Chain A
């Protein structure tokens, strides 16, 4: 069975600085998808970034980028130039290639301080 682990329950960063959130996963699959979702306080889950395991190039979306290490089964999220609006719970998630369910980690609560 697949598992996703986020070992940092809470993190904080100063506005305009860079922060990295960690995620590791366990699977015997060779092809799969990885995601980072953001859940602001009392608001709905938003997709931040995705990575296809067959792609070696790390995904980037504006200030958000990932460091995907397939052999190490690691998938970290880097947020550059942090903004107050980045304050949220961040969830790492795994999906098999056939689609279907997302398997989520426990989440990292990120606070961006002015």
Chain B
């Protein structure tokens, strides 16, 4: 059991560029979650998958954000036309039951 992994760990991009993050969950976990955390705040839910089905999306997830989990294993989160307000830590978590296990996060800085 290697835990939840995320790639990259850090991303610096210019405003207007597209970025994509990857999350690899714990192998036997069927649920995968994305959260966003800004400095000094608690994580905010973005979206989650059960297997390959996207079951819920937050209103925070604007049209510029899209997430996929094509084969029910890893997931990607894409942000198009990044804005400075997108700068945050993007956390991924996975679960089998109701306990969620978090990855180390991807820190995005939009300049």
Contact = CB atoms under 8 A, between A and B. Distances in A.
Interface residues of A, number: 22
A21 to B, nearest CB: 13
A91 interface: yes
Interface string A45-59: 111001000000000
Interface residues on B, range: 20 to 34
Given A101-B33, A107-B40, A45 B91 contact: yes
A64 interface: no
9 contacts: A37-B102, A44-B103, A45-B102, A100-B48, A100-B56, A101-B58, A102-B35, A102-B93, A106-B41
Interface of B: 31, 33, 35, 40-45, 48, 55-56, 58, 91, 93, 95, 97-105
